[in-house]
Amino acid sequence: GVRPSTTDDVEMDRLGREMKDELFFTLPAPDVLSGHPATLYFNTRKSDNLRGLRELTLHGGYDGWKRDTFSIDMSPCDIPSYNSAEWFSASFQIPAGTKQLNFVIGGEGDKWDNNDGDDYLVTISDPELKRPIPENVVNAFDEEANSIWADRHGADLFFVLPSPLKPGEPAAIYVNPQRSENLANKEPVVIVGGFDGWSNGNFELTTSRAPIPQFADVRWQTAKVNVPKDARDDLQMVFADERKEIYDNNDEQNYTVRL
């Protein structure tokens, strides 16, 4: 197995509190990377089929179970228990070039939790997409945004540059929370997005104030993101407040930008 990165006691306690009602989560957060180690944490307390069991096995595979299937034992782990959570974990290496982890969990006595037959899925990020975006590129986006927003996007909740987006290139997202019923006066904004129906290059970014003149009803926030080189169809996004308690998801339709 792969040794999980040592997470200190304070961090473990924070995880215990934050995740106490979750069934599972993965580290590193916010996303696991292809070609890198990851750890899956599973809370049997939240699993009707596995509650109280002590011997668990993680059965996994990648990209719709098409490659690199594996089975590894899970061990009890030292995340403090809140709400009677019972945490088990397993660490593993994610193969390069994968887009999603598929998994189910087995327990002794032929017990299974396979998400009611749907299996569980974790989206995997490409480390390429984490590369820093050069400052001159960021500045060029902001200058263009500053010159066009008033004519083209004065009434809009958001816009993106370049338009259309270019696969394999950086992009800039601008959002004006004053145009959102839910998010007015809530800054910064968290942008949760993904490409090709959330199947590619998923991200979660916290905005900063854009260098654009601000008015009572115009408070542009921005974040920059790398577009995957194999993105084909669309970028889908939802916006949230910083604590991710209040969302604007376009009445559950998401906000969509065609590529």
Query: 135-164: per-residue pLDDT in tens?
Result: 999 999 999 999 999 999 999 999 999 999
> In whole angstroms, what is the distance from residue 161 CA to residue 147 CA?
12
Tell me 215's DSSP state. Answer: B
Q: Which residues of the chain have pLDDT under 70?
A: 1-7
Q: Please give the pLDDT value at position 2.
A: 54
- What residues does 255 pair with on adjacent strands? 237
Amino acid symbol at 208: S
Q: For strand 120-125 and strand 32-33, is the pairing parallel, antiparallel, or unpaired?
A: parallel
Q: Please give the pLDDT value at position 115.
A: 98
Q: Please give the pLDDT value at position 125.
A: 87
Would you say domain 130-258 falls under CATH 2.60.40? yes
CB 105 within 8 A of CB 113: yes
Taking only Cα atoms into account, the Rg of the chain, rounded to an integer number of angstroms, comes to: 21
Q: Which of 14, 54, 19 is nearest to 40 (CA)?
A: 19
> In whole angstroms, what is the distance from residue 155 CA to residue 135 CA?
28
> In whole angstroms, what is the distance from residue 181 CA to residue 186 CA?
11
Q: Please give the pLDDT value at position 3.
A: 52
Q: How would you class 77 by CB atoms within 10 Å of its CB: exposed for 0-12, middle for 13-18, buried for 19 or more?
A: middle
Would you say domain 9-125 falls under CATH 2.30.30.40? no
9-125 and 130-258 share one CATH topology?
yes
Amino acid symbol at 38: A
> In whole angstroms, what is the distance from residue 90 CA to residue 13 CA?
19
Report domain extents, the chain: 9-125, 130-258
The first and second tokens of residue 201, run together, are 């290059």
Q: What is the pTM of this model?
A: 0.75
Q: Please give the pLDDT value at position 61.
A: 98
